[in-house]
Amino acid sequence: MVILLTNDDGVHADGLQALRAQMEKMPGIEVFVVAPDKERSASGHGITIHQPLRVEEVSIDGSRARIWAVSGTPADCTKIGIRALLPGPPSLVISGINRGPNLGTDVFYSGTVAAALEAAVLGVPAIAMSLNGYENLDYSYASRVAACLAGIILKRGMTPNSLLNVNIPALEPEHIAGMEVTRLGVRRYNDEFERKVDAKGDVYYWLAGGVMDVENAEGTDVGAIQQNKVSITPIHLDLTAHWAMDEICAWEIDLPDRDGGGPV
């Protein structure tokens, strides 16, 4: 079976290499890695269409996987991996293990989650893996969680058009308080723009500011991580607000006349 690994921290990132080493231990699995040639965190689901994608095969000591570095986004990597580089469609895509969490509203900005979403768009089961810390990270337990979930998905399959968004506490395994299947909470940033002046006298802004966990209620991914639990959130591609459709229909929207007349 073929598995594709990718990430948004770049092809040489520790989290990806720990994941690769773990997945290479799984029997009957052929591992391929297609990842950005440099860090592309917070790049969302962008794809590259106005310039070529450069692809370079790289070798990593001790690995028997084929590994490509791509001059594009995480979503590009999943797309070009599945459509052009791999010998056939993978049975699973795993994105990560990201340095830092991807909780709640983060999923809209995350390159890690976007790479997994792109797999779901292409009909391939996917997992996005993130470790909830930034310093002195040990990816070994998170790698074992990824292998465990991969084994289950390869056996049971995944509901179509969906993926798992998994966040792991950055703790020694004995301090992890179990796991919870969660829904997305709400996490925002206080979006402080620092206004500065450059050497030429021109004004520029730098986005800074910290995270605010707006909704960390029981059952959310934000809440589970705060309780030192592994959080597993199934995410679906359908962003439709189905419950709002009746309300919008009730507006009885009267479109402007096509000839330029009408009320607007």
Distance CA 264, CA 256 (A): 6
Q: How far is the CB of 9 from Mn ion (least distance, A)?
A: 4
Interacting residues with Mn ion between 128 and 187 (CB under 5 A):
none
The CB density around residue 41, as the number of other CB atoms within 10 Å, is 19
- H helix count then E strand count, the chain: 6, 13
| The one segment of 77-85, 91-99, 166-174, 221-229 that binds Mn ion by CB under 5 A | 91-99
Question: Which one of 4, 5, 6, 9 is in contact with Mn ion (CB under 5 A)?
Answer: 9
Q: How far is the CB of 41 from Mn ion (least distance, A)?
A: 3
| Polymer length in residues for the chain | 264
Q: How far is the CB of 154 from Mn ion (least distance, A)?
A: 25
Distance CA 134, CA 199 (A): 32
Residue 233 in contact with Mn ion, rule: CB under 5 A? no
In 49-99 the beta strands, taken as DSSP E runs, fall at: 55-58, 66-70, 92-99
Interacting residues with Mn ion between 37 and 66 (CB under 5 A):
41
Question: Which one of 4, 6, 8, 78 is in contact with Mn ion (CB under 5 A)?
Answer: 8
Are residues 9 and 99 in contact, defined by beta-carbon separation less than 8 angstroms? yes
Sign of the C-alpha dihedral computed for residues 179, 168, 165 and 4 taken in this order? negative
Indicate the residue among 73 and 98 with the shorter CB distance to Mn ion: 98
Q: How far is the CB of 112 from Mn ion (least distance, A)?
A: 6
Question: Which one of 6, 73, 78, 98 is in contact with Mn ion (CB under 5 A)?
Answer: 98
Q: How far is the CB of 217 from Mn ion (least distance, A)?
A: 26
DSSP 53: P
Q: Which residues bind Mn ion (CB under 5 A)?
A: 8-9, 41, 98
